[in-house]
Chains A and B, each alone.
Chain A
Amino acid sequence: MKLTRKEFLLTAAATLAGIAGTKTLSTVKAAADDSTGASTPRWAMAIDFQKCRWDQGCNQCVQSCNEAHNIPDVPQKSHEVKWIWKEQYKSVFPQQSQWIDPALTSHPLMLLCNHCGTPPCTRVCPTGATWKRDDGIVMMDWHRCIGCRYCMAACPYDSRSFDFADPRPDIVNINPAFPTRTKGVVEKCNFCEERLGKGQRPACVEGCREHALIFGDLNDPASQIRSVLRSRYAMQRNQELGTGPAVFYLL
């Protein structure tokens, strides 16, 4: 068969229009799916410090985390490795400590990685060893970490620790199911992504006997965390920095 010039141009135009149309449709459809957010969760945690019994010596969340993730108990304070730790209210919320009930401000608070919406740590990593997943978890890939500690400098929450030495000798009981880290990498809370992958809740949430930790999906309007954020006043650390923390403190 023989094509005239006109027929050729018409066929080519129709084909291109078809391809462009399908592309546009699929993009619009993907954008529509994203806006509902039904597919990917956005993990977050709320800490109810009226229920937290840290002032009475309870340390269960930290212990559960340490055991689950092989956190070393480094004797030297400057080389400390921490995924969950505690600090006094005044140093956690320095701008919100005036005129507040002293019972609250004298209460130690539980701190962990905020799994920020726009994490500053991931922007500075030169090797892509830390990045934000679609579900909001700020992940570490210790295979790629070269120990430059830019992320530690970038994190405004002091959520990252560096392994100055081999952590293994300082781990009390090694949990074989989770890798230890090695000398020269940065580590931090991973929101228990290894447990979430199996459908379990984070170790600290399970460990808390007072049910002071509420973990859930911010994209699910029916989730417990959404209902608690609707009904209670919640604070985020250093909100003015625009990092969008996913850890909320319930007054």
Chain B
Amino acid sequence: MRERVLIGTGLALFLALFTYPVWWAAASGTRAAAPQLQLPQHASACVAPASFMRASHMQLLSSWRNDAVRRGVHKFRSPDGRVYDVSLSGTCLGQCHSKAEFCDRCHAYSGVSTPSCWQCHNDPQLAARSIQ
């Protein structure tokens, strides 16, 4: 029973050190730097609300893929009623986003490997550079 104090102190010290990154960050108010994404300048809204896109853009792109390839549907009506061409290279990259400064940066930041989309779908910026 005499070791109780020793063990208790040791455990408390261990927990304090182990959780140091969490409580230190909480106490000092510092946060990890967010990814520096380049947002489109002339477009104010995405094809769906940003929160939905952040969490579920892969499901949306997958349903676009099935629409365009398997059902022959080439138009998408957004929840607020605007109509877009179903096209990753044409609409997402062609009109708003830069692959390198939007898609890739966030994927690198969150440690998500580059999806195989780009093995076939073109980055219009790269294509334009290769023609010049």
Contacts and interface: CB of A to CB of B under 8 A. Distances in A.
A141 B66 CA distance: 9
Nearest to A139: B69
Contacts, number: 42
Contacts of A142: 120
| Chain A at the B interface: SS class | loop
Chain B facing A: main interface SS: helix
Contacts of B127: 174-176
Contacts of B120: 142, 179-182
Contacts of A173: 130-131
Interface in A167-220: 173-177, 179-183, 193, 197-198
Q: Range of interface residues on chain B?
A: 20 to 34
Given A139-B69, A141-B69, A179 B74 contact: no
Nearest to A171: B130
A180 B70 CA distance: 18
Interface residues of A, number: 19
Given A177-B90, A182-B120, A197 B72 contact: yes
B130 A174 contact: yes
Contacts of A198: 74
Contacts of A179: 89, 120-122
Given A143-B69, A177-B89, A179-B120, 14 more contacts: A133-B72, A141-B70, A142-B120, A143-B65, A166-B119, A174-B122, A174-B131, A175-B122, A176-B123, A176-B124, A179-B122, A181-B120, A193-B72, A197-B74
